[in-house]
Amino acid sequence: MEQFVRNTTKKTMVVLDNAPIHRGKLIKVRIQEWEKSDLYIFFLPPYSPELNKIEILWRFIKYKWLPFEAFLNFQNL
């Protein structure tokens, strides 16, 4: 990341997920320094399947439409 910061020449936004390595002490310490170089870190919100429409549909299919036997093997599915 340090090399990336050194090579940026304009305002930059980096999007990170919430992996432990992205939320670690080493990153937190450097965020303010990076902002002075116009590099900003944006953390994605925690995973929220209830907000994702396909997750809602999959849950409905999984528990309402498909019989339990469908999950026993590939042919049943």
pLDDT per position as a tens digit, 25-77: 888 899 999 999 999 999 988 777 776 788 888 888 888 888 888 888 888 87
Structure tokens at 3: 């090399």
Domain shared by 25 and 54, yes or no: no
In the predicted model, is pLDDT for residue 5 greater than 80? yes
**What pLDDT does 38 receive?**
94
Domain shared by 25 and 37, yes or no: yes
Structure tokens at 59: 């849950």
Bridge-based pairing state of the strands 39-43 and 12-16: parallel
* pTM, 2 dp: 0.57
Query: Which domain range does residue 15 map to?
Result: 1-46
**What pLDDT does 55 receive?**
82
CB atoms closer than 10 angstroms to residue 9? 6
User: Domains in the chain: how many in total?
Assistant: 2
Domain shared by 58 and 68, yes or no: yes
Average confidence (pLDDT) over 9-16:
93
**What pLDDT does 14 receive?**
94
